Structure 1
Amino acid sequence: MSDQIETIAVIGVGVMGSGIAQIAAQSGHITYLYDAKAGAAEQAKAKLAVTFQKLVEKNKISTEQAQAANDNLLIAEQLEDLKNCDLIVEAIIERLDIKQSLMKQLEEIVPEKTILASNTSSLSITAIAANCQHPERVVGYHFFNPVPLMKVVEVIQGLKTDPRIVDTLNELSRTFGHRPVVAKDTPGFIINHAGRAYGTEALKILNENVSDISEIDRILRDGVGFRMGPFELMDLTGLDVSHPVMESIYHQYYEEARYRPNPLTKQMLDAKQLGRKVGQGFYNYTTGSKTGEQPAQIVERLEQYPSVWIGADFPSDHQQITDYLTSQNIKLDTSTVPQTDSLCLLACYGEDTTQAAQRFKVNPEQTVAIDMLYGIQKHRTLMPSLATKNDYIQAAHSIFNLDSAVVSVIAESIGFVAQRVLAMVINLGCDIAQQNIASVDDINAAVRLGLGYPFGPIEWGDHIGSKKILLTLERMTTLTHDPRYRPSPWLQRRVALNLPLTFNKKL
C-alpha cells in the first residue's frame, strides 16, 4: 500500500468530483480528471481554471498558487492513463453494480499499492469491494458539497480495509485542510446517520398538528440555534435527495423505529413539490426568495396580570423563571398550593401540559407549560393544556413578550418541540457512540462541520444537561410506548454514574 500520496485520480467530474479534484490540485498533488462522458474532463478543468481565477480575485490564493493548481490538473483520456496513481477516488453514480464493476476494471490496470476509494454517501464499502481481488485496499472517502468549503471528510473502513490506508487518508485529508472522521461501514456512516433525527422528528411533530411549519422552524432556528429550521433545510436539500436517504437508512437498519420516515415527504415527492429547485416545497420560492413563512405572534402589554405560581422539575429552571418574572414586575404566588386565580406555569420535560398539571396537582384550566431546555434568553415556547382558559394563555404570552423576545405557543405535545428534537439528536449521537461506529470526538466534529449544528450531539447533551435529556426520553417512551424514544444505554449509564456523556473509558 502507498503510504505517501503524490498522484491522485478522480473518476466522475460532476460537482463532487470537481470539488475533490480542486482541493487535491491546490494541495500540490498531481490530479488526473477522468469521466466516461466525452469532453466532460476537459470542461471540468476549464471550470476549475475559472474557479482558481475567482479565488485570486478574492485574495484567497495568489496568482502563482492558481497557476500551480492548474498545472497539477491533467486529463485522462482512458482508464489506463491512471495506472501510476497512488490514489483513485470514484465519484460516479450511486449504484452498487456500477461501482463494483469500476473497481474490478481498475484492479486490472493499477498496481497493488494503489488505493481505491469511493465517495459514496450511502452504499456499503464492504459491498463495493466484495468482488475485488484485493478488497483490503478499498476504502470509503466521503466528502460533502461544496467540497472546498465543507471541511470534513468521512474515512470509512470496510470489513476488509487495511487500517494503514485509513491512516494514510487521514493524513492526506489534513493536507487538504479537511478534518478526517473515521467511521465503521454502517448505513449512513456518521453524518447522514446522525442527521436522521432532526428532520424526521420535526415531520412527526408537524404530523401530530403540534404546530405549523413556520413555528417549528422558528423554535429550532431562533430558539435552539440550528442554522436553518428543518423544513427550510429540506427545501434547500430537495426532497428528491432527502426522502430517499430517510427511506434508505430506515430500511438498511431493518425498520428501526428511530429512523422512521414520514408519509408527508413521500406525498410531496410524488407531487414534485421538492423545494427551492422547483419553486415550491414547504415554503414557496417562485419569486426567488422564501415566502409563506408566518410571522411570530405578539401579545401587547395587559392592564393587569395574574400572579404566577411556578412548578419546575429542576431548581435552576425555577430560579431562571423567577428572575425573569421579578425583572418584569410580575407578582409571584409562592404558596404551596396555587391560588384559585393564579397562572400556573410549569417547566416540565417529556410530557404534555395535561400530564404535568396532574403531576403537580394544579388546575389545568389555569395552567401553561414552558420549555426551559434551551433557556429563555432569545425565544420562549409555551404550551397550554386542552382545558387552559384563553385569559391565562393570553396572560402567559404577554408576560413573555414583555422584553420583546419572540414567543411560540404550540398545541399540546409530549415533550414540546425543542425537547423532542434535541432529545432525539443527542440520543442518536449517543447510540452511534454505543455502536462504536466512530469515536466521540469524531462524532461531535462530524456533526458540527458536516451538518452545521452549534454543538456535536454528545457534547450538546453535556451542554444542556444529560439528566434533562434522559428524563425527556424516559417520559416520552412511557407515555407513547413508541420505541423510537427509548434512551441509549450510553446515555443511561453516564447519567446514572453522574459522568459526562463525552466520558469514554478505553479498555
Structure 2
Amino acid sequence: MLTPQSIIAVIGGGTMGAGIAQVAAQAGHRVRIYDIHPGAAARAIDAIATALSARVAKGKMTASEKHDVESRLNTAQSISELADAALVIEAAAEQIDIKQAIFRELAAVCSAEAIFASNTSSISITAIASGVEQPQRVAGLHFFNPAPVMKLVEVVSGLETSPAVLESLTGLAMRWGKQPVHCHSTPGFIVNRVARPFYAEAWRALEEQVAPAGVIDAALRDCGGFPMGPLALTDLIGQDVNFAVTCSVFNGFWQERRFLPSLIQQELVFGKRLGKKTGQGVYRWPLNESLPYLPAEPGESDAQEIQHHGFAAWLNNHDSGDSVTYSYLELDDVLVQMTQGETATQLAKSLQRPVVLLDLVNDWQSSPLVVLAAAASNTVVQTAKAIRFFQQQGKQVLMISDYPGMLVWRTVAMLANEATDAAQKGVASEEDIDTAMRLGVNYPHGPLAWGAELGWQQVLRLLENLQKHYGEERYRPTSLLRQRTLLETQHEH
C-alpha cells in the first residue's frame, strides 16, 4: 500500500519528471529525483522552486508551505539511492531499450514490494515490464503536461500487472487530486489514440487546400468548441513530438489507415519548423493570424422567403433522432442544410437546385462564426443569400472549398468512431474514455456522449458518405457504431 509516508522516486529531470515530482511533494511525500545527466535533477528542483514561487505570488500557497514542499525534494546521484522508494515513476526518454534497462536496474536494488510505473505516452507497458523479474508490479502512470495542472492520469495495465498495483496507483492518483482512468496497454492508450483524428483531419484539409490553416483552426475552435485549433496545437506541442506520437500509433496498429501520418507535417519536421519553440511551424510565432471573414452582404433581407424545418433545434444540437435528418432552411430557391458527408455540388446535382452546406456548430449561442461551403453550380447571388442570412443572426462567415463532411463534422465523427473502436476492443470503459478526452485534452464533450447527442445515425451517414467519396478504409465505421445506430432506430420505433 502506498501511504503519504511512502518515499516516491522520479527518474528523469525533464519537464514531465519535474512536474510529477512537484505533485508528489505537494501531496506530502519525500521525493528523490534521479537523472543520468549530471546536474539535471538539481535543475528540476530549481524549476519546481520557481513554479512554487509563482504560486506564492498568486496567493495559492504560503511561503512556509513552499518551504515545506522544497524540503521534501532531494536529488539522487545513482539508482542505488532509490532503494527505499515505495514507488518509482520513470519519466525518461521515449525509447523502449532505455526504459527496460532502467527497470532492470530498479528491480536489482529496490524491495520486492516496490511498485514501478512508467510515464510513457505510447510504449507498451507489457514490453517495458518484460525484462523485470516481477512484471506484475509494473504499470503505466501517464500524466499530462503540465503535470501539476492537468487533472487526468491514465493508469495503464500491462498483461502481467496485478490488480493490487492498479488499485494502489488509482488510490494514490486520487489522493494527489487527480482523476485516474484505467486502460489496457495498447498503442496510444486512450487519449493519444482517440485524439489522432483531431490532428489527422486538419492535416488532410490543409493538404487538400480546403482552407488556410487559420480558417481550419477557427472552425474547430469557435464552431467545434475545442479549446484550440488542431494545427496551432501541434505548433504548441512541437511538430516533432506530435509527429512522433502519430508515427508510433500508426506503426503500433500495423499501419492502420485511420492513423496515417501527414506528409506536410513530416516536411515541417524535416525543415526544423517545429512550432512555437523554433518560432515557426504551421504559423509564425508569436501568433498573429487575421481571418478572412466575409464582409457584410448588402441587400434586402426581408425579400427572402424563409422556410425551415427543425432548424433552430438542429443548430443547437438539442435534437438527435429523426427530425435532425430532415432539418433544413430554404432561402427563396436556395437550400441550406448541415453537411452529411456529401459535397454541396453532389447534393445540388441530385436535387437540381442551389445548395449551401453548413458545418457543425457545438453551441449556436456562443459560437461567433459559421463555416459554409457552396455548390460549384451556385451563382454568386444564390450563395450570398445564405451568407447574408447567417450574418443577420450575428455570425461571422467563413467560406471553405466544397469539401465532404466539412471541417468540424467530419472531425467529430472520426473522434466518435475512434472512441467506439477503443470501447469495443476493451481498451477502457466508455465512461473512462469520455472522461479522458474531456480532462486530458479538454474536449467540450466526451466523443461517445457527443456521438449519442448528435445521433449515431448522423455519424454513420457522414462516415459512409466519406468512405464512398474517397474509396478509403480510413472512414470505415466501426462495428459498435453500427450497432448503436440499430439500437437508436429501435428506440424510435
In structure 2, the partner of 1:496 is 486
Equivalent in 292, 300, 307 of residue 297 of structure 2: 300
Please say if residues 3 and 165 of structure 1, whose CA atoms lie closer than 8 Å, have aligned partners that are also in contact.
no
Q: Cα offset for 1:271?
A: 1.5
Please say if residues 305 and 395 of structure 1, whose CA atoms lie closer than 8 Å, have aligned partners that are also in contact.
no
Structure 1 pair 174–318 and aligned structure 2 pair: CA distance change class (3 A): closer
- Take 2:50 and 2:245, find their aligned partners in 1: how far apart are those partners? 33
Q: Cα offset for 1:157?
A: 0.4
- Take 1:320 and 1:139, find their aligned partners in 2: how far apart are those partners? 45
In structure 1, the partner of 2:287 is 290
Cα root mean square deviation, aligned: 2.3
Please say if residues 154 and 180 of structure 2, whose CA atoms lie closer than 8 Å, have aligned partners that are also in contact.
yes
1:180 alignment partner AA? P
Structure 1 residue ranges without an equivalent (≥5) = 322-337, 502-507
- Take 2:10 and 2:179, find their aligned partners in 1: how far apart are those partners? 20
Given the alignment of the two structures, is residue 356 of structure 1 paired with residue 347 of structure 2, yes or no?
yes
Please say if residues 346 and 356 of structure 1, whose CA atoms lie closer than 8 Å, have aligned partners that are also in contact.
no
Structure 1 pair 65–319 and aligned structure 2 pair: CA distance change class (3 A): closer
SS at match of 1:126: helix
Aligned 1:296-375 pairs, distance under 5 A: 296-303=293-300, 307=304, 315-317=309-311, 342-359=333-350, 361-363=351-353, 366-372=354-360, 374=362
Structure 1 pair 44–370 and aligned structure 2 pair: CA distance change class (3 A): closer
Structure 1 pair 431–306 and aligned structure 2 pair: CA distance change class (3 A): farther
Please say if residues 317 and 372 of structure 1, whose CA atoms lie closer than 8 Å, have aligned partners that are also in contact.
no
- Take 2:307 and 2:475, find their aligned partners in 1: how far apart are those partners? 28
Between stretches 217-226 and 347-356, larger displacement belongs to 347-356
1:370 alignment partner AA? L
1:368 alignment partner AA? V
In structure 1, the partner of 2:90 is 90
In structure 1, the partner of 2:325 is none
Please say if residues 309 and 344 of structure 1, whose CA atoms lie closer than 8 Å, have aligned partners that are also in contact.
no
Q: Could you report, residue by residue, the CA deviation over 1:299-344 in whole angstroms, capped at 9, with x for unpaired residues?
A: 3331467645768xxx5338768xxxxxxxxxxxxxxxx99x7223
Structure 1 pair 152–346 and aligned structure 2 pair: CA distance change class (3 A): closer
Q: Could you report, residue by residue, the CA deviation over 1:381-425 in whole angstroms, capped at 9, with x for unpaired residues?
A: 221111111111222212211233111212111111111111111
Please say if residues 173 and 180 of structure 1, whose CA atoms lie closer than 8 Å, have aligned partners that are also in contact.
yes
Q: Could you report, residue by residue, the CA deviation over 1:335-370 in whole angstroms, capped at 9, with x for unpaired residues?
A: xxx99x7223244411111222244x232xx32222
- Take 1:231 and 1:293, find their aligned partners in 2: how far apart are those partners? 15
- Take 1:362 and 1:310, find their aligned partners in 2: how far apart are those partners? 18
- Take 2:460 and 2:482, find their aligned partners in 1: how far apart are those partners? 7
- Take 1:304 and 1:121, find their aligned partners in 2: how far apart are those partners? 53
In structure 1, the partner of 2:469 is 479
Aligned 1:423-502 pairs, distance under 5 A: 423-498=413-488
Structure 1 pair 27–398 and aligned structure 2 pair: CA distance change class (3 A): same
- Take 1:342 and 1:142, find their aligned partners in 2: how far apart are those partners? 55
**Under a length normalisation based on structure 1, what TM-score does the superposition of the two structures give?**
0.88
Structure 1 pair 90–320 and aligned structure 2 pair: CA distance change class (3 A): closer
Q: Cα offset for 1:88?
A: 0.6
2:293 alignment partner AA? A
Q: Cα offset for 1:376?
A: 4.5
In structure 2, the partner of 1:35 is 35
Paired-residue identity, %: 35
SS at match of 2:393: coil
Aligned 1:137-148 pairs, distance under 5 A: 137-148=137-148
Structure 1 pair 51–384 and aligned structure 2 pair: CA distance change class (3 A): closer
Please say if residues 4 and 168 of structure 1, whose CA atoms lie closer than 8 Å, have aligned partners that are also in contact.
no
In structure 2, the partner of 1:238 is 238
In structure 2, the partner of 1:218 is 218
1:209 alignment partner AA? Q
Structure 1 pair 135–320 and aligned structure 2 pair: CA distance change class (3 A): closer
Structure 1 pair 310–188 and aligned structure 2 pair: CA distance change class (3 A): farther
